[in-house]
């Protein structure tokens, strides 16, 4: 994975004007267990199947199917593995988590776990987050989690970074004013980079926070802990307009 490759590091403040759609965000396969394969092959009601998810021709995802007009919607972008998503969903029954990733085994694992645990406030999209964003109604999201996004440390790969000003603006369209965006990374230059990129959008305000005790340790954070790398948490609030 890109995360483990910290050679030829780029400057934290290196910016790009127009991030390109990364070829690496195509569906990522990998070794799949029988349990994951069965979940992927089944017709789970918790799967956000993008082409079939349009509401009555409006061109928008039908979030009401999950929220029933009562629950808030939170995006978990690049969730990677099931456990942290499930832990936070259990902690917040008032939220519906839309968990998004391109990684097939992770998607299969989460779908299987949701069914096994009978959870009703998590749905899963195997897609590039930009595909999902394009289908979300304006100001429909209350919160966003982006834990340990791929830092793409090599200079020539900087354009592949997900967290960039253009992305922050795209996300801002879909998050209501007062909503939040929680990010974490184990690479300080990327924390600085993400902060600078989000600050450059006039629609978010925030910065580093202490690591909240309630944030579950994700797989990538565990790897970082083993390698004795600390983490930085960032918290931004959607400010108007």
Ligand X SMILES: C[S@@+](CC[C@H](N)C(=O)[O-])C[C@H]1O[C@@H](n2cnc3c(N)ncnc32)[C@H](O)[C@@H]1O
Footprint of ligand X (CB under 6 A) = 1, 3, 25, 28, 77-81, 100-103, 106, 128-129, 147-150, 162, 218-221
94 C-beta neighbours (distance < 10 Å), count: 11
In the complex, the smallest distance separating the C-beta of residue 104 from ligand X, rounded to whole angstroms, is: 9
Q: 16 vs 239, which CB is nearer to ligand X?
A: 16
Q: 204 vs 220, which CB is nearer to ligand X?
A: 220
Nearest alpha carbon to residue 208 among 183, 230, 189: 183
Q: 20 vs 41, which CB is nearer to ligand X?
A: 20
- Return d(Cα 195, Cα 47) in angstroms, integer: 32
Please indicate whether residue 186 is annotated as part of the active site: no
Q: Got the DSSP string for 95-162?
A: EEEEEEESBHHHHHHHHHHHHHHT-SSEEEEES-HHHHHHHSPTT-EEEEEEES-----BGGGGGG-S
- Looking from the CA of 58 toward its CB, the CA atoms found within 13 Å total 11
In the complex, the smallest distance separating the C-beta of residue 69 from ligand X, rounded to whole angstroms, is: 27
Contacts of 148 (CB under 8 A, 6+ apart): 3, 78, 80, 184, 185, 186, 218, 220, 221, 224
In the complex, the smallest distance separating the C-beta of residue 100 from ligand X, rounded to whole angstroms, is: 5
In the complex, the smallest distance separating the C-beta of residue 56 from ligand X, rounded to whole angstroms, is: 27
Q: 180 vs 239, which CB is nearer to ligand X?
A: 180
- Return d(Cα 189, Cα 15) in angstroms, integer: 12
From 101, 109, 150, 186, active-site residue:
150
Which residues participate in catalysis according to the annotation?
A: 150
């Amino acid at each position: 994975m890109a995360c483990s490759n910290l050679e030829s590091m780029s400057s934290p403040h290196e910016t790009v004007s127009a991030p390109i759609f990364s070829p690496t965000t195509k569906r990522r396969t990998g070794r799949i267990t029988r349990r994951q394969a069965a979940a992927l092959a089944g017709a789970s009601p918790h799967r956000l199947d993008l082409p079939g998810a349009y509401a009555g021709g409006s061109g928008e995802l039908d979030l009401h199917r999950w929220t029933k007009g009562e629950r808030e919607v939170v995006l978990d972008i690049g969730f990677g593995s099931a456990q942290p998503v499930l832990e936070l969903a259990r902690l917040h029954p008032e939220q519906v988590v839309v968990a998004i990733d391109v990684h097939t085994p992770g998607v299969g694992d989460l779908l299987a776990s949701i069914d096994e645990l009978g959870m009703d406030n998590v749905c899963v999209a195997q897609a590039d987050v930009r595909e999902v964003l394009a289908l979300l109604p304006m100001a429909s999201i209350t919160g966003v989690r982006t834990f340990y996004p791929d830092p793409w440390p090599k200079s020539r790969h900087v354009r592949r970074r997900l967290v960039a000003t253009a992305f922050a603006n795209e996300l801002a369209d879909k998050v209501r004013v007062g909503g939040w965006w929680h990010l974490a990374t184990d690479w300080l230059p990327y924390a600085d980079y993400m902060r600078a990129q989000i600050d450059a959008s006039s629609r978010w305000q925030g910065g580093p926070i202490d690591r909240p005790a309630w944030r579950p340790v994700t797989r990538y954070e565990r790897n970082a802990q083993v390698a004795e790398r600390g983490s930085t948490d960032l918290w931004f609030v959607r400010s108007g307009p």
